[in-house]
Amino acid sequence: ALEEGVRTIEHGALMTDDDVNLMLRKGAWLVSTQAVLFHPTGIEQGDARRPEIMAKLVQARALVAETFPRVLRSGIPFAVGTDSMHGLMAFELEKLVEFGVAPGDALVAATRRGAEVCRIADTVGTLEVGKRADIIAVRGDPLRDIRTMYNVVFVMKAGQRYDLSPI
């Protein structure tokens, strides 16, 4: 796919050294999507209910935990995705940090780099004059503990604040 001009690879969890080198040569992006493999609401709720699939899932998780940190250290530009598993961005960030990414770099992968890979960095991804003011506020310091990303206090979309008080 990369040889034919594809510019992003999603998942990328089982890439070989040759795959990494090709991505670097082509300037391709990696979009890390770990929730589908590691989060209990992912594959465990579907096919992994079958014992033979669950056994393969356990093997895949171990292999990814061993190899994916190397991929992330390779210099391939990467962003964060969730593979349409909505509400799991904090989980994705936590997995990146578990794989050795600094919390600040994980946050950049979810914001600026996400906008860059989607080619919308002129309107979102960073807080700058002229861009949409889309932010979240969390309780705590995610640079010290990325798990604070689970503690969203409010969302601001296009400059409008939405509190997350219980309904």
- What pLDDT sits at residue 38? 87
- What pLDDT sits at residue 166? 65
pLDDT tens for 37-88 read: 888 877 777 777 788 888 888 898 999 898 889 888 899 999 998 877 778 9
The percent of the chain in helix, strand and coil, each rounded to the nearest 5, is 45, 15, 40
Alpha-carbon gap, residue 128 to 144, rounded angstroms: 24
Sequence length of the chain is 167
Is 2-125 a CATH 3.20.20.140 domain? yes
Q: Is the pLDDT of residue 137 over 90?
A: yes
- 18-22, 38-42, 135-139: the lowest-pLDDT one: 38-42
CA dihedral defined by 44, 50, 53, 54, rounded to 10 degrees?
A: 50
- Alpha-carbon dihedral sign for residues 83, 87, 90, 91: negative
Alpha-carbon gap, residue 69 to 95, rounded angstroms: 10
Helix (H, G, I), strand (E, B) or coil at 155: strand
- What pLDDT sits at residue 167? 54
Q: Which has more pLDDT, 42 or 142?
A: 142
Domain ranges of the chain: 2-125
**Which tokens hold the place of 152?**
């969203």
Average pLDDT over residues 151-167: 85
Alpha-carbon gap, residue 21 to 76, rounded angstroms: 9
| Position 134 confidence tier, pLDDT thresholds 50, 70, 90 | confident
pLDDT tens for 82-133 read: 877 778 999 999 999 999 999 999 999 999 999 999 999 999 999 999 998 8
